[in-house]
Amino acid sequence: MPRKLVVGNWKMNGSLAVNADLVSAVAAGLPCAGELPGQVDVAIAPPIVYVAQLRQLIDKKNSSLALAVQDVSAAASGAFTGDVAASMVAEFGVRYAIVGHSERRKYQGESDSLVAQKAVAAQQAGLTPIVCVGETLEERDAGRALAVVAAQVHAVLMQSELDVSRLVIAYEPVWAIGTGRTASPEQAQEIHAAIRHQLKQLSEAAANTAILYGGSMNAANAKQLLAQADIDGGLIGGAALKAQDFLAIVQAAQ
Ligand code: PEP
């Protein structure tokens, strides 16, 4: 069974002052680095410009809290104005890179194939990609949720350079993100089980890939969602901006 993982996606929120307060409060509720680790790995994904600030703060507190980024370039370097390479964030001790978040698929037009290339680029720099997949409401209503998610996962798994033992998948139904409308534990489990099956068909190592749920997970609904057999953690948006709520979700994952 994969280790549980809870990741806070801060999206485009924060400031030097707000980040300092939030990370102090989150770190205070987690084990120190080098202490016996808890049952759950915990990471935060701030806006990229704050990675250096948060690296310093986390190190100063000797916290076990890991860093993630919200996106990376599919390219290693070069003429890609505004992009950031995975190797650059790796220099700051970043452990995970979220790729293919539905907001990037929607607003930046990212395709399944670009997302898959980003996952490979993240791994090549030593990061663990967290690949987001999920159907829209129209797709769910048309009975296509399983097929849409399977195609998104397939695009990543068919990359020959991909190391499936260093991969995280996050199932985030688009209709549940930031809407306050959560997938029921049964709805989420159905998709997670299908993703697990798809991974297992590839290899035994892939069966150990953590599959996170994301979409309006909060302190009140986390326990039930995380109790499902194939839900290995959470990707948390809104609730990650309040330390108390975020830590309650981490607690629910224990
Ligand atoms: C997300 O953006 O990944 C997310 C799950 O957001 P929220 O928890 O706010 O729905």
Q: Where are the domains of the chain?
A: 4-253
Please pick, among 103, 110, 139, 172, the residue that the annotation labels catalytic.
172
Catalytic annotation, pick one of 101, 110, 135, 192: 101
Q: Whose CA is nearest to atom 2 of ligand 1?
A: 237
**Which CATH number describes the domain made up of 4-253?**
3.20.20.70
Structure confidence at residue 218 (pLDDT): 96
Residue 77 confidence (pLDDT): 97
Name the residue at shortest CA distance from atom 7 of ligand 1.
Answer: 237
| 139 among known catalytic residues | no
Instruction: Specify the residue with its C-alpha closest to ligand 1, atom 1.
Output: 237
For 226, phi and psi rounded to 5 degrees?
Answer: -75, -10
Cβ-count burial of 34 within 10 angstroms (0-12 exposed, 13-18 middle, 19+ buried)?
Answer: exposed
Q: Which residues contact 111 (CB under 8 A, 6 or more apart)?
A: 105
Q: Catalytic: 103?
A: no
Instruction: Give the span between the Cα atoms of 44 and 155, in whole angstroms.
Output: 26
In angstroms, what is the span from residue 78 Cα to ligand 1's centroid? Answer: 31
Work out the number of other CB atoms within 10 angstroms of the CB of residue 180: 9
| Residue 1: predicted pLDDT | 82
Please, which residues have CB within 8 angstroms of residue 72's CB and are 6 or more apart in sequence?
Answer: 84, 85, 86, 89, 97, 99, 118, 121, 122, 125, 127
Q: How far is the CA of 98 from the centre of ligand 1 (A)?
A: 12
Please tell me the predicted confidence (pLDDT) of residue 39: 86
pLDDT of residue 205: 80
> What is the pLDDT, as a whole number, of residue 206?
81
CA of 179 to the centre of ligand 1 (A): 9
Q: What is the pLDDT of residue 208?
A: 85
Q: What's the confidence (pLDDT) of residue 21?
A: 98
Q: What angle is formed at CA 162 by the lines to CA 159 and CA 167, rounded to 5 degrees?
A: 120
Which regions of the chain are under pLDDT 70?
A: none
- pLDDT, residue 144, reads 97
